[in-house]
A = this chain, B = another copy of it.
Amino acid sequence: MIDLTDTISPALSKLDDAGRATLFTEARTANTFAATPVSDAELTEIWNLAKWAPTSANTQPLRILYVHPGQARERLVKHMKDGNKAKTASAPAVAVLAVDTRFHDYIPTLLPFRPEMKDVFDADEEMRTGAGMFNATLQAGYFILSIRAHGLAAGPMAGFDATGIDAAFFPDGRWRSILVVNIGHPGPNPWFARLPRLDHEDTIRWA
């Protein structure tokens, strides 16, 4: 008996125009947010969607610290660059995206057919650090699009004192911050005029 599951090539669907608008073509980085709160359940769902997109050797090194409004948020705002303080203070939700520097401890669970990769990473700090940063950053890209997929606006910010945030929130040194992202429903006048994109002639080559 022939097992047809081995010979069928799955047909894939395209993303429709509404989905393209939600994630890419109409989506914008928000600088102001409405007072409408974002629930912890919504924030968990943003992760639960983003987690399905791929990482090398299924390593999934990205971690998230959600910082609620109040005392914790005030501590975070201190470490943001001046131009980012007001929006980080007022966003309904803020995520500190971080890399778990011991992501490889999970490899026997995440890559069960190659558990020895844990030891390969353990023995090579340079390779481990590079792979952790690379894959966590890939996942940061997925995470930003997942925020948008949930009908929310993202405000990613690279302008912060990472050493200060890490000392304040990750004192054991295992997690290291890579990006801070404001999350919420857009407020009044939430974004600037769209900035230009490079032409494909400047970005694509053919061989």
Contact = CB atoms under 8 A, between A and B. Distances in A.
Interface string A137-155: 1111110111011111110
A162 to B, nearest CB: 11
Contacts of A138: 137-138, 140-141, 144
Interface in A43-94: 43-44, 47-54, 56-58, 60, 62-68, 72, 76
Tell me the number of copies of this protein.
Answer: 2
A190 to B, nearest CB: 7
Given A19-B19, A131-B158, A141-B137, A8 B188 contact: yes
A165 B64 CA distance: 34
A65 to B, nearest CB: 5
Interface of A: 5-16, 18-25, 27, 29, 34, 40, 43-44, 47-54, 56-58, 60, 62-68, 72, 76, 106, 109-112, 131, 134, 137-142, 144-146, 148-154, 156, 158, 169, 178, 185-190, 195-198, 200, 202-207
A32 B52 CA distance: 20
